[in-house]
Amino acid sequence: MTVSSDRSPERSPETPSPSSPSSPSSPSSLSPRPSSSPAPAGGAEGVGTAAGQPAAAPGVPAGDTDASARRLAYVTVGVPTLGFAGAVVFAFHYGISAVDIGLLVGMYLVTSLGVEGGFHRFFSHLSFAAKPGVTAFWGIAGSMAAQGPIVFWVATHRQHHAFTDRDGDPHSPRPIEDGRRFARVRGFWHGHVGWLFTVRRQNWSKYVPDLMRNRLVMKINQYYFVWVLAGLALPALLGWALTGGTARGAAGGLLWGGLARVFLLDHVTWSVNSIGHTLGNRPYRTRDTSRNVAALAPFSVGGSWHNNHHAKPALAHNRHTFWQIDIAGGVIRLLDALGLVTHVRYPKRARSE
C-alpha cells in the first residue's frame, strides 16, 4: 500500500497464500511492510482471498457458528452491562466521587488507546514498528478492554477489511434482506453487537500468521483473561488506596473504572462498526459504506474517522485535516518522537503540519 494524500481509495494487491503459522518462532518485531510489497496473508486488505475468488467467509458453511465464541459473547456483553447498571445503582446510594470519575477516565483512556492504537493500528495494520516493551503495553492495554484476545480481534478486523460490506464481513450493518420486517434495524443491530453471537467457526490463524509467529504476542494472547481481570482489579485497588483503604473506594473503582468503563468503551468501539457504516460524511469515495463520525472522535480516540481509515488503512493517523481529533495518532506521534516506535506511516499532509 502506498502512503499518499490523494483522495482515492487504496486497492489491495493479490494476496499470497499464508505460510504455516502452526508454532511461534523466535520473537519477531512487528514492522510495517514496504509500500511496494504485497499485503501479507491475513494482512490489512485482501485477507485470505486470491483475485477472482467469491466474497464469502473462506471454507465456512453458512450458519456454522462457533458455540464457544457465542458463550464468550454472552459474558463479553452481559457482564459489563450488568456492571454498568450496578454502577448507576451504586451512584444513587453513594454518589459519584472524584476518585470514581478519575478512575473511569484514566482506565478508559489507557484501554481505548490499547484498542485503537494497539489492536487496530499496530497489530491489525502494522502502521508502525515497536520494541518488545511497547508491544507488550499495546497488547496488555488492549486486552484489558475485554473485547477479545489479540488473535480474535485482529483476525476479525482483517476479515472486515477483506470483505467490507459484502458476504464474509463479520459485522457489516447492511440491511438483512430476508423478507422479514425491520431489515435495516436488524442489520444495524447485527453490525453493532449481534455479530458477536453469530461468529462462524474457522481457523483464525490463517488471518494472522504474522502474530502467530511472534512469541510475545502469543504469550499476551494466552493470558487474555488474566489481563481482563487485571483491568478490573487495578481500578478497585487504586480506589481502595486513594480513599484511605475504604470498601466504598474499592467498590467505586471496580464499578466505574472497571465494569462501567468496559461497557462504555465496548459500545463506542461497536458504534464505529454500526454508525460508522450508516451515518456521517464520506470525503473519500471508497468501495464500501464507511463514514466519518465526528461526534464519536474524542471517545474513540480517533477511530471514528472511519472513512479516512478505509481509504488509507495502512496509515498510523486517521487525522487527515487539521481539525480532526485523533488522540491515538497523537500518542503514536509522541512515541515516535521519543524513539519508542519507528517506521510510522504518516499522511503526507499531516507530516507537514
Sign of the dihedral through C-alpha 47, 344, 292, 186: positive
In this structure, is residue 183 part of a structural domain?
yes
Helix, strand, coil shares, percent, the chain, to 5: 55, 5, 45
Q: Rounded CA gap, 10 and 8, in Å? A: 7
Helix axes 132-143, 98-113, angle to 10 degrees: 120
Task: Tell me the residue length of the chain.
Answer: 353
Grid cell locating 287: 468501495
- Please give the pLDDT value at position 168: 86
Q: Rounded CA gap, 198 and 211, in Å? A: 24
- Please give the pLDDT value at position 29: 59
Neighbour count for residue 326 (Cβ, 10 Å): 25
Residue 150 · residue 143 · CB < 8 Å: yes
In this structure, is residue 324 part of a structural domain?
no
In this structure, is residue 268 part of a structural domain?
yes
How does pLDDT run across 262-291, given as a tens digit for each residue? Answer: 999 999 999 999 999 999 999 999 999 999
Within 181-214, residue ranges assigned H as helices are: 183-192, 209-212
In this structure, is residue 347 part of a structural domain?
no
In this structure, is residue 250 part of a structural domain?
yes
Q: Rounded CA gap, 269 and 267, in Å? A: 5
Within the chain, residue ranges assigned H as helices are: 67-94, 98-113, 132-143, 150-162, 183-192, 209-212, 215-222, 224-242, 247-252, 261-274, 306-311, 327-337, 348-352
Between the two ends of the chain, the Cα-to-Cα distance in Å is: 23
In this structure, is residue 248 part of a structural domain?
yes
Task: Give pLDDT < 70 ranges for the chain.
Answer: 1-65, 178, 201, 349-353
Specify the 3-state DSSP secondary structure of 214. coil
Residue 253 · residue 237 · CB < 8 Å: yes
Grid cell locating 53: 475468488
In this structure, is residue 188 part of a structural domain?
yes
Neighbour count for residue 182 (Cβ, 10 Å): 11
Q: Rounded CA gap, 306 and 116, in Å? A: 12
How does pLDDT run across 10-69, given as a tens digit for each residue? Answer: 333 223 333 333 333 333 456 665 443 333 333 333 222 222 222 333 223 334 567 777
Q: What is the dihedral of CA 125, 128, 133, 134, to 10 degrees?
A: -80
Q: Rounded CA gap, 165 and 278, in Å? A: 11
- Please give the pLDDT value at position 180: 82
How many domains is the chain built from? 1
> Which residues constitute the domain of residue 82?
67-279
Residue with cell 489491495: 12
- Please give the pLDDT value at position 31: 63
- What is the radius of gyration, based on Cα positions, of the chain? 20
Q: Rounded CA gap, 353 and 337, in Å? A: 15
